[in-house]
Amino acid sequence: MASAYPLEEHGLVSKGLYSIVSDIVGSECIVKIRQQKHELYDTIISCNASQTFKDLTNITSGSMAEGFTFKSSDIDIMQIDNNIVVLHGISSHVFDTSDIPTVLCMETDNIAPGFARLRCIKYDYRNLLYPNCLIARGESVYFSSRVARESHFSQSNRRIHGPCSTGVSIFGIEDDAAYTLNCPFWPKQAESFIYRSLCHGWPSLDVLTDICKDGCLFVPIYSKQQTNSELIDLEWRISFSLAEKKLIHSMNHCQFLCYGLMKIFLNEVLKNIPETGELLCSYFMKTAVFCEISENPNNWTPPNFIEKTWNVFRRIMCWVSVGYCPNYFIPEHNMFYDKIYGSHQRNLMLSLRTLYDEGYWCLLRCPSLYEPLSLVIYLPFLVNLLPTNEDSHTEIITSETSKVMSITSCIELPLSNDNLFRTLWNTTQEKMQHTLNIRLPKRELNIR
């Protein structure tokens, strides 16, 4: 990372940034409470569904279920059809399907990584929510993703986008709901995830076992690589939403805050870049954080917070430069396909390179970080701006530096010295603008 400061000061800034992001995202205790609240909600809603509507089980995912409460945070509802199970290969011989009305078998031959066709090996019209999903192709019968998606939301006042429909949830916020099918086995396409996890030691063996035990889901959307119109309607995407939620819940707080900081940077900086703002999404950030933790699982502590976050940013840059973003569970699935290429790829790379050359100064572009992070970065060095014979001022600055570094009072400076600190604040803004070589918005220091 580009830095003009010695390593000892870099560690102080890193701890300061960690505390600022923790204040924005939430403490470790608060985040765990949010996550447990959604786990409890899943349990309650499933119990109610079993009494009133046995066909579907609702499970929450998305950033709110992960533990975030940003304005941009959403909630995803995975609506799992309880009358259908998806099997693959050998699993069909060892799994008892006698009580399951409809059994599908996944086919992955001649299909893009991360997708599958679902062939019926057993079905019962009487217990199917959408019997019109059964489509004959030659001597086989398949379960249509297009018909399932359209049928599931045809009776609701919701708009369809991708595999989901968007509307207002019982929480009073916008949610994305998806009709999904369950596979109780870990898919063969994602076996490399197990080997990588065992090799690197993340996630832990207990979490890994729990993830694999839950299997995967299938959501009704086809691969953009598919050009055969007759096969498009039959393709389903393999979803690892349940596994992703467990991985995030297993993170330590430094890892979780790194993910949170990348979401802040995405929403407040990257999405505001003209022409390329819509190319990157939070799922790419999540994938980069997963990869960084998996490959470098040690030393995720506050003094290393900036370094770890910067590694994630560099990983995103590397993916953009080659036009390939590997799915964390199925690396052969390029999530940049048909989205980041050509002129879009070049323009995005130029924008990311500009931010990269600024070093961690680029974080000052985030409105929510600008004021507290400015103080964290500059207060340790402001003592050098004062005459050496003004001991009283030196003591004031030293005292306030300690306050900032502990983030007990990031910007609550004593009123008796307001003129001094306003002068220093204006000086820091001028110095930042000169260092960054960009025009920053002029901001007033909030003195209480």
- pLDDT digit string (tens) for 437-446? 545 445 544 4
The contacts of residue 134 (CB under 8 Å, 6+ apart) are 120, 123, 128, 141, 142, 143, 144
CA distance 409 to 376: 11
Report whether 190 contacts 216 (CB < 8 A): yes
Question: Does residue 423 carry a pLDDT above 70?
Answer: no
- Helix (H), strand (E) at residue 75: strand 75-87
Given this model, what pLDDT does residue 156 score? Answer: 61
Per the CB < 8 A criterion, the answer to whether 285 and 293 are in contact is no
pLDDT of residue 411: 38
The CATH T-level fold of domain 7-28+251-363 is: Poly(a)-polymerase, middle domain (1.10.1410)
* pLDDT of the residue at 226: 77
23-54 pLDDT tens trace: 999 999 999 999 999 888 888 776 655 444 57
Residue 377 — very low, low, confident or very high, per pLDDT cuts 50/70/90? confident
User: Cα separation of 152 and 156, whole Å?
Assistant: 9
CA distance 104 to 441: 58
**Cα dist from 200 to 203, 213, 243, 286, 293, whole Å:** 8, 20, 17, 18, 9
Q: Residues 294, 296, 300, 304: is their CA dihedral positive or negative?
A: negative
pTM passes above 0.85: no
Fold category of 55-246 in CATH: Beta Polymerase; domain 2 (3.30.460)
DSSP 144: -
- Report the chain's terminal Cα–Cα distance, integer Å: 35
pLDDT above 80 (res 381):
no
Compute the radius of gyration of the chain from its Cα atoms: 25
Show the CA angle centred on residue 216, arms to residues 250 and 108, nearest 5°: 135
Q: Which residue has the higher pLDDT, 30 or 161?
A: 30
Separation CA 103–CA 341 (nearest Å): 39
Q: Which of 333, 146, 170, 166 is nearest to 239 (CA)?
A: 333
**Mean pLDDT across the chain, nearest whole number?**
82
Give the mean pLDDT of 61-88: 88
Pair 136, 212: CB distance under 8 Å: no
How many Å separate Cα 385 from the centre of its chain?
41
Top-confidence residue, 48 or 345: 345
Question: Of 398, 403, 411, 409, nearest to 370 (Cα)?
Answer: 411
Ramachandran bin of 67, using left for φ above 0, alpha for ψ from -120 to 50, beta for the remaining angles: left
Query: Could you give the percent of the chain with pLDDT greater than 70?
Result: 74
Beta strand 140-143 with 159-161: parallel, antiparallel or unpaired? unpaired
Confidence of residue 424 (pLDDT cuts 50, 70, 90): low
- Spatial distance between the Cα atoms of 186 and 423, rounded to a whole number of angstroms: 61
Nearest to 202 by CA among 313, 303, 290: 290
Beta bridge partners of 107: 117
Supply 403's token pair: 């306050």
Delimiting residues of CATH 3.30.460 domain(s) in the chain? 55-246
3 state DSSP class of 392: helix
Residue 298's pLDDT band (boundaries 50, 70, 90)?
very high
Of 34-48, 142-156, 416-430, give the lowest mean pLDDT range.
416-430
Under the banding of pLDDT at 50, 70 and 90, the label for residue 98 is confident
SS3 assignment, position 129: coil
Which residues in the chain are classed under CATH 1.10.1410.40? 7-28+251-363
Q: Which two tokens stand for residue 385?
A: 């701006």
Report the relative pairing of strands 159-161 and 164-168 from DSSP bridges: antiparallel
Which range among 48-62, 150-164, 378-392 shows the weakest confidence by mean pLDDT? 378-392
CB 164 within 8 A of CB 75: no
Question: Residue 243: pLDDT above 80?
Answer: yes
Burial class of 205 by CB neighbour count within 10 A (0 to 12, 13 to 18, 19+)? exposed
